[in-house]
């Protein structure tokens, strides 16, 4: 798919990690296809995860009673958001596909990635009221989560000690990505690489590369409650 643009939002501290290997495999496979691949390496960038007054370069509408949610859409319209936010928004705006590469922390996102979503996917840029879910401003773009876990697949099953992993994906895939209009693809979950052999880890990386070879042909999931809770 020559000419397609891909953004990889990568959240791991160690360039020698298994997450880094998955990110590298994605860059290599997608580049081989002729895609233009951009990586936002959040830890290397020292990306600020906190949503604060520093996110606004112009005067606040109510500096005495600071309300981030009310200030954001106004600042976006006035082009008064901080440069680190607008730089990431430019990457998202250009992308046909956004890949989120991260380890599962406490059944959720690493704080630095949660902060990226909080600050970058803001009202006015990614959604509005009205203008969410199927009408979200990022409609037409694809998104996929590539996740690593500490536990085995059995642990994250309906009968496992951690419960069905699909339940954890609801607030991320549906409540954030689908809300903003993304076409959400099925997640790529690499279970327990920390307990796998070198051969097994290589197999997980190869499986991700094989999937990416045909990623543009994939249909999005049916991003409704039934996909997460009804099977």
Average pLDDT over the chain, rounded to an integer: 97
In terms of Cα–Cα distance, which of 209, 31, 19 is closest to 112? Answer: 19
Q: What is the pLDDT of residue 15?
A: 96
For residue range 193-208, what is the model confidence (pLDDT) as tens digits?
A: 999 999 999 999 999 9
* Span 104-145, pLDDT tens digits: 999 999 999 999 999 999 999 999 999 999 999 999 999 999
Residue 231: pLDDT band by 50, 70, 90 thresholds?
A: low
pLDDT at 89 over 70: yes
pTM of the entire predicted model: 0.97
Q: In order of start, what are the domains of the chain with their CATH numbers?
A: 5-229 (3.40.50.360)
pLDDT of 230 reads 84
Q: What integer pLDDT is reported at residue 1 of this predicted model?
A: 72
pLDDT in tens, 25-66: 999 999 999 999 999 999 999 999 999 999 999 999 999 999
Q: Determine if the peptide bond prior to 130 is cis (ω within 30°).
A: yes
Q: What is the pLDDT of residue 7?
A: 98
């Amino acid at each position: 798919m020559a000419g397609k643009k891909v953004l990889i939002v990568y959240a791991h501290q160690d360039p020698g990690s298994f997450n880094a290997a998955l990110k590298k495999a994605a860059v290599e496979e997608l580049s081989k296809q002729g895609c233009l691949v951009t990586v936002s390496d959040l830890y290397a960038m020292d990306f600020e995860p906190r949503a604060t007054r520093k996110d606004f370069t112009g005067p606040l509408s109510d500096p005495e009673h600071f309300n981030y949610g009310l200030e954001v859409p106004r600042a976006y319209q006035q082009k008064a958001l901080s440069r680190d936010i607008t730089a990431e928004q430019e990457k998202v705006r250009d992308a046909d596909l956004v890949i989120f590469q991260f380890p599962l922390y406490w059944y959720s996102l690493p704080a630095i990635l949660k902060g990226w979503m909080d600050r970058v996917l803001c009202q006015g840029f990614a959604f509005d009221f009205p203008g969410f879910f199927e009408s979200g401003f990022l409609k037409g773009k694809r998104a996929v989560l590539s996740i690593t876990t500490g536990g085995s697949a059995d642990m994250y099953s309906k009968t496992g000690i951690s419960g069905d992993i699909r339940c954890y994906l609801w607030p991320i895939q549906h409540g954030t990505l689908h809300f903003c209009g993304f076409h959400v693809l099925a997640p790529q979950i690499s279970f327990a690489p920390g307990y796998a052999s070198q051969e097994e880890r290589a197999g997980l990386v190869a499986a991700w590369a094989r999937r990416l070879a045909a990623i543009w042909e994939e249909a999005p999931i049916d991003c409704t409650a039934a996909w997460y809770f009804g099977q």
